[in-house]
Every structure is written in C-alpha cells, then in structure tokens.
Amino acid sequence: MIRIVIAEDMHMVRGALVALLEMEPDLKVVAQFDSGDRLVPTALELLPDVAIVDIDLPGLDGLSAADQLRTAVPTCRVLILTSLGRPGTFRRAMAAKVSGFLLKDAPPDQLADAVRRVAAGGRVIDPQLALAAWEVEENPLTRREVEVMKLAADGAEAMEIATRLFLSIGTVRNYLTSAVTKLNARNRVDAIRIAEDNGWLT
C-alpha cells in the first residue's frame, strides 16, 4: 500500500484528488491539509511514501516545503501538482529535487500512475513543460536588476526601491529601463510579467 499525504489549499481540488486516489486499491491518502507549514510535521508523524504538493500554498510555499521535506523525511518522495506551468517554476522544482512535476490539467489517470512511479523511485515530468524549460534562455538580468524588479513587482515605486536598496532614484530608474530593454518588453509591467513567467525573479 502506497501511503500519500496531500498539500493543496483549494478544498474542491483536494477533495477530488482524495476521491480519485482512494479509488485505486494500492493507494491510501493518510492526511490532507491546506498549507505548506503542515507538510514536514505531518510527514514526520505519519512517514508517508509520497507527498502530493501544490506550489502556491499559504504559509510556506510548496517548493520550500518540499525542500525541507527532503531533509526531514528523505524516504518520502514529492510529486508537485500545479497549475503554474511556467519554465522558471519547473526549474525551481528540479532544483528542489522533487521526484515529479505534473500540471493540474493532466488526464486523471496519469495521477495514480505518477504516484506509483514516484513511490518506486522513478521520476515523472510533464514532457511539454520539460521541453519549454530546456528551450528557455538563461536569465539576462543582473543580480541588482532582479532585486529592483522584485520590489517593483511587489508594487514599490522608484523612491521606495531606492530607499530600501540604498540607491539613488536615478540609478533605480536606470536598472528598470535596462531590464525593460533586455527583455524586449513594452514597459515595466510587461517586463515584470516576462521575468516572472520565466522564473527570473525567484
């Protein structure tokens, strides 16, 4: 019997996952919860074989929780199930050494198969996402441009960014302009979208 815990904050999705997995005779959901903070404590208590984890969780995000789980309970394999099918997100998941990465719109029969393969020590990766991550370019932004863009993405204006990073307003504007140019963006908002979609602001 493969024992599973599920970390998913959308109640309807979590309920559907539990129902789907419980239909399989060799799979058992031993715990389900809605925040990343509960993953490691629950896994330490129950010692599951597989953790199905959403990336966008309240509290501790799914990838950070998965990274902590790898150290705390190395026998528990992590299968990321997410709607965030961006190359940058996928690369972060691979850096966290998760065992699988599936999109939520994958056919339902793939989920049980993915759990079995991950539990057996294999890896399961959405092929289209892997191809997109392979083809995406390296981050063209400098470390300082990333810092400025991250603050801008959070809604900070040039004056606030300058104060927080101990820079002049002119220097902040230069970094923002440089980022827009490097990303071939229409404006700052478009540059932030491009950078976030590619995982360059993580």
Average pLDDT over residues 99-110: 84
Give the per-residue pLDDT at 51.
97
State the pLDDT confidence band at 107, using cuts at 50, 70 and 90: confident
Helices of type H across the chain: 11-22, 39-46, 62-72, 87-95, 108-119, 127-135, 143-153, 158-165, 169-182, 188-197
- The C-alpha atoms of residue 111 and residue 108 are separated, in whole angstroms, by 6
pLDDT at residue 35 greater than cutoff 70: yes
Region 23-39: mean pLDDT is 94
CA distance 202 to 196: 8
Domains and CATH numbers, the chain: 2-134 (3.40.50.2300), 143-197 (1.10.10.10)
Mean of per-residue pLDDT scores for the chain: 88
pLDDT for 88? 66
Three-state DSSP at 32 gives strand
- pLDDT digits 0-9 by tens, 148-197: 999 999 999 999 999 999 999 999 999 999 999 988 888 999 899 888 87
Tell me the β-bridge partners of 31.
Answer: 5
Q: Residue 133 above 60 pLDDT?
A: no
Across 98-118, average pLDDT? 88
Given a cut of 80, whether residue 124 has pLDDT beyond it is yes
Query: What pLDDT was estimated at residue 73?
Result: 95
- 198 pLDDT tier (thresholds 50, 70, 90): confident
Would you state the pLDDT for residue 183? 86
pLDDT of residue 137: 62
